[in-house]
C-alpha cells in the first residue's frame, strides 16, 4: 500500500520530469526539413512570352497540363515520402499541383507567400529584351547582398525575402518533413540563391529553371538552408570562396535588414514596436563585424586544416620492394642454408678447365690443394672469381703470378698468399652482397666459355 508521503513524492517526481521534458523540447531548434520546390507548367503567358505576375494570373496550356502530370509521376517514382503539398495563390501553380495531389491523396495548401515576384513597371512586357532584363536586374542584385534595391514599381529584396521566409515558417509549423512547394521561377531561383549557405550564382545563367524543374533545399528558417539539387543536378558543399562570399554578403545585408524592419515598425505607429525594432537593429549592426570576423577565421582555418590534414596513403613504389624483401628474407635465408656451398660437379669441371690451360710444369699438387681448400670455404661466387684470377695469372697479367726466366713456376708460397688474400674482408663483402645471383650468373657464363 502506497502511503501519502510516497504518493506526494511520486507526484512531485512526475511534475519535475514533465517540466524537464517541456524545457528540452522548447530549447531544441526547429527540426530540419527537406523542401522540394517545383516550378509550374507552361502557362498561357509563358507560351506568349509575356510577363504576367498578376493574381490569379494565366492558366496552363495543354503542354503545361502534360508537364504537370509528368512531374507528378517523376516525384512519385523518386520514392521520397512526401507529406504535404503547398502552392502559391496563382492559378498556374494550383493547376500544376493537381495531378500530384490526386496521385498522393494529399490536399494542397495555398500560401500566398510563394507567389511570383511582382513585376512592377514590367508587367505585361515581353519576357525577352528590355522587359526581361529590367525585371530580373534587381533580384540579381539581391543575391549579391544589395537587397534594398527594388524592382521598379515593385518591392525590394528585404520584403521579398521576408515574405517567402514567413511562408516557409508556416510549412515548418505544420510539422511536415518532406513538403512539395509549387511556386514560380523567379521566386524559387532568387530566394534560393539569397539564402542557402552554398550558393552557385552561375546556375541561374547556365541552368535557368524551365517549366516543372525541381529545386531541393534542406534546413530550416532558424538554422539556415543548404542547396542539394538544382534542376536535376546535385549540388555539393560550399567551397571556401563561396563561404567567404556568404560571409561578406551577410555583413552587407545586416544593416539593410535592420533599416527595413525599423521602417516597417514605423508603419505600425506603435511606440513599443518602433523602440524594439530600433534596439534590435542597433544590436544586429554592432554584432555583424564580430560575426563576420569569426566566420572568416573559422572558414579559413577549416580550409587550411583540411588541406594539411595527413591522409593514410598507400605504400609507395619505393617502399613496396623493401617490404617484399623483408617478407621474403626468412625463405631466402632457408634456401641459402639448404644449398651446399659448392656443387661437386661444377668444382670438378672448373679444375679440369684450369688443368687443361696450364702447362705440365705449372701443375703443382700444393696449388691444387690450396684451390680446393679455398673453393670449399667460399660461396660459389668467390670460387668463380678465383678461377678467373688464375686464368689471368696463366696469361701473365700484371697482377698474376708469372713464370721465372728459367721457365720454372714461382714458389707456391706466393700462390698460397694469394689464396689467403682472397679471404679478406673485401672478398667477404662481395660474397654477401652478391650471393645467389652472382653464383647463378657466374656458373652460366663459365659453361658458355667452356
Residues labelled as active-site residues: 40, 116
Pick from 52, 353, 37, 298: nearest CA to 193: 37
CB 111 within 8 A of CB 86: yes
Pick from 194, 185, 172: nearest CA to 214: 185
DSSP E strands, 194-279: 214-220, 224-230, 233-234
Cell (9 digits) for 358: 696450364
Cα 448 to Cα 203, 350, 352, 381: the distances in Å are: 75, 12, 15, 16
**Where do we find the cell 554578403?**
249
**Where do we find the cell 527537406?**
34
Pick from 245, 263, 449: nearest CA to 349: 449
Cell (9 digits) for 19: 517540466
**H-helix or E-strand spanning residue 408:** none
**Cβ neighbourhood burial of 331 (10 Å; 0-12, 13-18, 19+):** exposed
Amino acid at each position: 500500500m502506497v502511503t501519502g508521503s510516497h504518493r506526494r513524492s511520486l507526484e512531485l517526481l512526475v511534475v519535475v520530469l514533465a517540466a524537464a521534458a517541456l524545457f528540452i523540447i522548447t530549447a531544441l531548434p526547429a527540426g530540419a526539413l527537406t523542401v522540394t520546390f517545383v516550378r509550374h507548367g507552361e502557362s498561357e503567358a509563358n507560351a506568349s512570352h509575356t510577363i504576367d505576375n498578376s493574381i490569379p494570373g494565366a492558366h496552363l496550356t495543354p503542354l503545361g497540363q502534360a508537364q504537370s502530370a509528368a512531374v507528378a509521376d517523376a516525384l512519385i517514382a523518386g520514392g521520397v515520402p512526401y507529406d504535404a503539398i503547398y502552392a502559391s495563390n496563382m492559378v498556374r501553380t494550383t493547376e500544376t499541383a493537381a495531378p500530384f495531389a490526386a496521385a498522393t491523396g494529399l490536399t494542397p495548401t495555398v500560401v500566398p507567400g510563394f507567389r511570383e515576384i511582382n513585376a512592377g513597371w514590367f508587367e505585361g512586357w515581353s519576357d525577352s529584351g528590355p522587359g526581361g532584363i529590367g525585371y530580373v536586374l534587381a533580384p540579381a542584385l539581391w543575391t549579391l547582398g544589395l537587397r534594398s534595391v527594388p524592382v521598379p514599381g515593385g518591392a525590394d529584396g528585404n520584403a521579398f525575402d521576408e515574405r517567402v521566409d514567413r511562408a516557409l515558417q508556416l510549412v515548418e509549423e505544420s510539422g511536415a518533413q518532406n513538403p512539395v512547394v509549387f511556386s514560380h521561377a523567379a521566386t524559387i531561383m532568387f530566394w534560393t540563391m539569397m539564402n542557402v549557405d552554398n550558393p552557385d550564382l552561375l546556375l541561374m545563367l547556365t541552368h535557368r529553371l524551365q517549366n516543372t524543374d525541381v529545386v531541393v533545399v534542406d534546413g530550416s528558417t532558424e538554422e539556415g538552408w543548404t542547396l542539394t539539387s538544382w534542376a536535376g543536378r546535385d549540388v555539393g558543399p560550399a567551397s571556401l570562396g563561396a563561404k567567404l562570399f556568404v560571409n561578406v554578403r551577410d555583413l552587407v545585408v545586416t544593416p539593410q535588414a535592420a533599416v527595413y524592419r525599423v521602417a516597417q515598425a514605423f508603419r505600425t505607429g506603435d511606440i513599443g514596436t518602433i523602440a524594439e525594432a530600433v534596439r534590435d537593429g542597433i544590436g544586429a549592426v554592432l554584432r555583424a563585424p564580430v560575426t563576420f570576423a569569426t566566420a572568416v577565421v573559422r572558414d579559413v582555418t577549416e580550409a587550411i586544416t583540411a588541406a594539411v590534414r595527413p591522409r593514410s596513403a598507400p605504400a609507395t613504389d619505393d617502399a613496396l620492394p623493401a617490404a617484399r624483401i623483408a617478407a621474403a628474407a626468412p625463405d631466402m635465408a632457408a634456401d641459402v642454408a639448404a644449398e651446399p656451398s659448392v656443387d661437386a660437379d661444377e668444382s670438378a669441371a672448373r679444375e679440369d678447365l684450369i688443368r687443361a690451360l696450364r702447362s705440365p710444369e705449372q701443375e703443382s699438387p700444393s696449388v691444387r690443394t690450396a684451390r680446393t681448400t679455398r673453393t670449399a670455404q667460399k660461396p660459389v661466387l668467390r670460387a668463380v672469381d678465383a678461377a678467373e684470377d688464375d686464368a689471368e695469372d696463366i696469361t701473365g697479367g700484371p697482377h698474376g703470378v708469372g713464370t721465372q726466366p728459367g721457365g720454372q713456376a714461382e714458389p707456391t708460397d706466393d700462390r698460397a698468399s694469394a689464396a689467403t688474400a682472397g679471404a679478406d674482408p673485401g672478398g667477404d663483402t662481395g660474397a654477401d652482397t652478391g650471393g645467389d645471383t652472382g653464383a647463378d650468373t657466374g656458373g652460366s657464363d663459365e659453361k658458355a666459355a667452356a
